[in-house]
Amino acid sequence: MNKLLSATCLAACGSALALGLTVSSASANEWPTDDIRLVVPYAPGGTTDVLSRRVADLLQQELDANVVVENRPGAGSTVGTGRLARGGRGVDHTILMASPGHTIGAAIYPDLGYDPVEDFVFLQNMIDIPNVMVVPADSPYESVIEFVEAAKEENMTFSHSGVGSSIHMSGELFKTLTETNMTAVPFAGSGAALPALLGGDVDVSFENMPTVLSHIRSGDLRALAVTSAERSEYLPDVPTLSEVGEYNLDQFVTTAWFGLVAHSSFPEEAQSVMQDALAKVMEREEFLDFADQLGAEPGQVSGEQFKQFIADEVERWEGVAQQAGISQ
C-alpha cells in the first residue's frame, strides 16, 4: 500500500518535472539568472514544436542555463502569444517561437488583446521555409501561366491545412493577385490535406516545402513554383512565383518563417546575450543539418529588421484576409 502510494507520488513528481516545472537553478548576477522558458504556442509535434525543442537543446549549451519548452496551444497560436503579451512574472526569462500564425492571427482575429508588433521585441528569425505551388502528377497544367489561364475560365479548388495557416493564406493571396476563381478546401492539418492532392480531389495547393518535397521527387506531385524570393536549392529547376512576371505575381513572395520573440519589457542585456547565443546556435552544424532536413533556409533578419518584417506581414495579411472575407 505505502509502496504504491509512494510510487504514485513518484510518478506524479516525475511527470511534473517532465512538464517543465523544474526547480530553478539560479546562478550569478548576469542574465540569465533563472531557467529560460521557451513558449511554443502550438501543440507538441508540429514544425514549431520540433524546431523549438531543437533550438532549446542547442541554446542550453550556448547559454549554460536550462531552456524549458512549454506548449501553450490554442486559436492559431494567439492564446500562447496573448499570454506572453500580457506580461507578468518571469517574462524577463521567457521567449516565444513565433511563426506565420503571429501575423496572420493578427489579421483574422479582431479582438486579439495585444499588438503583434509593439508588444514584443524581436530577437532572431531562425528559419524560413518556402511554400511550393504543387499540382497532382496527372494535372494538365505544366506552368503557372497555364494554370492561371485555366483558373480564369473555370473554378479551381485548393487544399489547405486550416483557416489562417500560411498554406491557406498563400492560396488566398494567389487568388487575389491573379483575380482567378478559386475555392479553398480546408483540412485538419497537412497530413489530412495531402491525400486529397495526391488523389486529385483538389487542383492545387501551396504546401510547405518539407511536406511535399519527397512527393515532388518521386513524381507524384508536380511543382509549378516556389513562393520564396529566390529559387530553393532543393528545387533548383522550379521558378519562383515572382519570376512568372505576369498577373501581379511579382508581388508574391512569402515564406513560413519561424523566429524567437520576447515581451516588450525584455531587458536589453538579455536581448544582446540572447542574440549572441542565437547567432552561435545558427552556426552550429546540428542546426544547419536540421534546417536542411526541413528544406528550410536559415533566417536572415533579427532585431529591428525582424520587427519591420513582421509589421509588413501584418499589413499584408490584413489586406488579404479582408479581400477573402475571412476577417471576423
Partner 1 sequence: MENFSEVVGIFFSLDNFLAIAVGVVIGVVVGSIPGLTATMAVALALPFTFSMQPVAAILLLVGIYKGGMYGGSITAILIRTPGSPASACTLLDGYPMAQQGHAKKALKAALYSSVIADFISNIALIFFAAYLAKIALNFGAPEFFWLICFSLTIIISLASGSMIKGLMAALLGILLSMVGLDEVFGSQRLTFGNYNLMDSISFIPLLIGLFAIPEIIEFYRKKAIPHIKAKANGAGLAFSELKRCMKSIVRGSLIGVIIGAIPGTGATAAAFISYSDARRRSPNRANFGKGEVEGVAAAEAGNNGVAGATLIPLLSLGIPGDVITAIILGAFMVHGLTPGPLMFQENLSLIYALFLGIMCSSVILLVVGNVAIKYFSLIADIPKSILFPIVLMFCVYGAYAVNNATFDVGLMLAFGVLGYIFNRTAIPAAPFLIGFILGPMFEDNLRRSLLIGSNDLSIFVRGPITWVFIVLTVGSIGLAIYRFAASRRGTRNSTDESHQT
Could you list the residues that contact partner 1 (CB under 8 A)?
Answer: 1, 4-5, 7-8, 11-12, 15, 18-19, 43-47, 49-50, 53-54, 56-57, 70-75, 78-79, 82, 108, 111, 155, 157, 162-164, 183-189, 191-192, 194-196, 198-199, 201-202, 210, 213-215, 217-218, 220, 286, 289-290, 293-294, 325-326, 328
CA distance 292 to 102: 24
CA distance 314 to 165: 14
| Distance in Å, CB of 45 to partner 1, minimum | 4
For partner 1, the closer CB: 23 or 188: 188
For partner 1, the closer CB: 184 or 249: 184
| Distance in Å, CB of 202 to partner 1, minimum | 6
For partner 1, the closer CB: 26 or 288: 288
Half-sphere exposure of 255 (CA within 13 A, CB side): 24
Per-residue burial over 282-301, b if 16 or more Cβ lie within 10 Å, else e, is: beeeebeebbeebbbbebeb
| Distance in Å, CB of 19 to partner 1, minimum | 6
- Cell numbers for 90, please give them: 518571469
| Distance in Å, CB of 149 to partner 1, minimum | 19
Among 79, 124, 69, residue whose Cα is nearest residue 102: 79
| Distance in Å, CB of 29 to partner 1, minimum | 30
| Distance in Å, CB of 53 to partner 1, minimum | 5
Is the C-alpha dihedral spanning 137, 143, 144, 149 positive or negative? negative
For partner 1, the closer CB: 182 or 278: 182
For partner 1, the closer CB: 57 or 318: 57
Q: Are 160 and 171 in contact (CB under 8 A)?
A: yes
- Cell numbers for 104, please give them: 496572420
CA distance 160 to 134: 12
For partner 1, the closer CB: 195 or 245: 195
Half-sphere exposure of 91 (CA within 13 A, CB side): 21
